[in-house]
Structure 1
Amino acid sequence: MTTFSNYIPQSNPPLPPWETLPTMYDLPSDNPEEPGLPDDFHFLQPLLLYLTFQPINWNPELVYSAADLNLYYDIQHPLWYKRPDWFGVVGVGKLYKGQDLRLSYVTWQEPANPFVVIELLSPGTEDEDLGTRTESAADKPPRKWEVYERILRIPYYIVFSRYTNELLAFQLVGGHYEPMNLTHGCLLMPEINLSLGLWQGSFRDIERLWLRWFTLEGELIPAPTEEAAAATQRAIIAEQEAIEAKQEAIEAKQEAIEAKQEAIEAKRKTEQLAERLRQLGVNPDDLDEFL
């Protein structure tokens, strides 16, 4: 029996650590110089762009794209670089000098600058990605906007926010970026026969609004897995149609057999009737004159 003298109050049990420790929303990048370090979205979205960047009017062997790769842009300051979330180049082989996978993209050693750059907004990178602060100290590297617009003169610059699903696009016109308008929901890039737009769908089993490549006519450029799935579906449909056609042929053959049997049966009955008439003294051929 518990008595007042030996009763010891029990303290509340400790909370589990997942209720007291910081969450992923409380722990941003631990590197203040890289506030936009990749997260899951920064891996999947560039991957989808990479898989669907297929300029129709270019040899696939001369199309290159990369994600989160150092882009060196100033021969006077060879250590200065930017790291786009994704960029695409045409007229450049997939391998450096046709031999090696790239460690970085060094513009003064490549035959072409990027044709299009895409930045995915992250907390802390908005000002630089959107060009709201383009001035930098004389001894500091210029900001992204200035590098893309004035130094590399990249024809298309795209910014997408997964938080607001806002898509902003700029085209180089007369040496300066001008805002682009959507045409039927897409950003047209006729030089490469492609357009860029938002697509609601499932990629890697994740359903959300994705940024991806289309044809100029607005048709999806399929990723390899989508193309394989579509081919499988076409094969299933073709097989089903072949089965249905075979079944129809079997049914038609059965109907022909039944029709032939009916004709034979009708002929047999006619012959039996004619024989019965002859037995009754009537020539069945004479009846034709009265019919």
Structure 2
Amino acid sequence: MYQTDPPLSPSETMPTMYDLPSEDPEEPGLPDEFHDFQPQLLRETCQPPNYPKEEMFIGTDLNLYYDSHHLLWHKRPDWFLVLGVTPAQQQQDLRWSYVVWQEGRVPFLVVELLSPGTEAEDLGQTLRSANKPPTKWQAYEQYMRIPYYVVFDRYQNQLRVFQLIVTQYHEAELSEPKFWIPELELGLGVWQGKYQETEGLWLRWYDGAGNWIETSKEHAQQEHQRAEQERQRAEQESQRAEQESQRAEQERQRAEQESQRAEQESQRAEQERQRAEQESQRAKRLAEKLRTLGINPDDL
């Protein structure tokens, strides 16, 4: 018999999620869990007061075709918003991609979620190769001329906003990780909280008062809390009304008792008056009898 080394545990022999990322090495940036959750939060909270939902199209990880002279040129933003375009009303009309020359409108705003594999491309640090399509930055800035380009780095808690001025993107100076977009009457900011049961830093929309726009779940929770508070207030009011009713009944009973006592006192007083009257009459009769006998009652 001979002894061998004990077998390694699976954690020592099998690759982890960091060894097997979801990204295709030939096409970086394919969705991981964060790239799934974060666009959902942006979609849920994008509720501009001056644009109804039927006048907005939101794309998530959808191929964006932008040059009618080069039909296969496309980018795939993590999230983008188009104003003045109607979303699909029927399932069979759901878009397979967004084609600018067919829709007639370019995106108003694009959001890219920074990851190590796409950082240089997202921030315009890569150069266009010969005989290759334009870079993402060039496509957004020069071809589509998208008014707002937002880049969010959750690892560094950094929000960067680039605004198209004339023909070039200029980075906005942010004193805090928030940026107001007047055309939408909404702002984008970094929020610390729990979404999809996951605590972390999230990009979401806020309103003119600085309040974070609620998700449908948060709205339902708020409605439930308000309903519960209303129920408790109604219960308290009912209890107070019952207590007032009981106090009123007690007051009525006390008043009734006082009335009965007063009536009894009145009866006793009447009885005393009658007794006094009877005693007076007896005294008069006795005095008269004494006088008939020749006795002056006053001398007694």
- The alignment partner of 1:158 has SS state of strand
Can you give the 5+ residue segments of structure 1 that lack an aligned partner in the other structure?
Answer: 1-7, 284-291
Partner Cα separation in structure 2 for residue 110 and residue 213 of structure 1: 26
Q: Establish whether residue 265 from structure 1 lines up as the match of residue 242 from structure 2.
A: no
d(CA) in 1 for partners of 2:274, 2:188 = 90
Offset at 1:282? 9.2
Check the 8 A contact 1:53/1:213 in 2, yes or no. Answer: yes
Tell me the alpha carbon deviations over residues 12-31 of structure 1, each in whole angstroms, 9 at most, x when there is no partner.
32012222222111223563
Q: Percent identity?
A: 49
**CA deviation digits over 1:52-85, x for unaligned, max 9?**
1122101211111011100111112110111101
Match of 1:136 among 124, 128, 139: 128
- In structure 2, stretches of 5+ residues that fail to align are 276-300
Deviation at 1:97, TM superposition (A): 11
Contact 1:35/1:123, CA 8 A, preserved across alignment: no
How far is 1:116 from its partner? 0.7
User: Aligned with 1:202: secondary structure?
Assistant: strand
Q: 1:122 aligns with which of 100, 103, 115?
A: 115
- Specify which of 176, 188, 198 is matched with residue 180 of structure 2: 188
Pick the aligned partner of 1:82 from 56, 63, 75.
Answer: 75
Secondary structure of the structure 2 residue equivalent to 1:170: strand
Q: In structure 1, how many angstroms separate the alpha carbons of the residues matched to 2:92 and 2:2? A: 74
Distance 1:275 1:185 in 2: 87
SS at match of 2:5: coil
**Which of the numbers 222, 226, 229 marks the counterpart of 2:218?**
226
TM-score of the superposed pair, with normalisation by structure 1? 0.88
One-letter amino acid of the structure 2 residue matched with residue 274 of structure 1: S
For residues 69-108 of structure 1, the aligned pairs below 5 Å read 69-95=62-88, 100-108=93-101
Partner of 2:143: 151
Match of 1:201 in 2: 193
TM-superposed CA distance for 1:103, in Å, is 0.4
Cα drift, residue 222 of structure 1: 1.5
- What is the RMSD computed on CA atoms of the aligned residues? 2.2
TM-score by length of 2: 0.85
Find the counterpart in structure 2 of residue 23 from structure 1: 16
C-alpha distance in 2 between matches for 1:229 and 1:97: 29
Q: Is the 8 A contact 2:45 2:214 kept in 1?
A: yes
Selected match of 2:39 from 25, 38, 46: 46
How many residues align structurally? 275
Task: Report the CA distance shift for 1:123/1:107 in structure 2 as closer, same or farther (over 3 A).
Answer: same
Structure 1 residues 33 and 9: alpha-carbon distance in aligned structure 2, compared to 1, 3 A threshold: closer
Q: Secondary structure at the match of 2:226?
A: helix
Structure number with greater Rg is: 2
The answer for the alignment partner of 2:53 in structure 1 is 60
Deviation at 1:34, TM superposition (A): 1.3
- Which of 246, 252, 258 is 2:244 aligned to? 252
| Contact residue 181 and residue 187 of structure 1 kept, 8 A | no
Contact 1:85 1:119 in 2 (8 A): yes
Per the TM alignment, residue 175 of structure 1 is displaced from its structure 2 partner at its CA by 1.6
Residue 207 of structure 1 aligns to a residue whose secondary structure is strand
Match of 1:171 among 151, 163, 166: 163
Q: Which residue of 2 aligns with 1:211?
A: 203
Distance 1:269 1:100 in 2: 86
Amino acid at match of 1:80: W
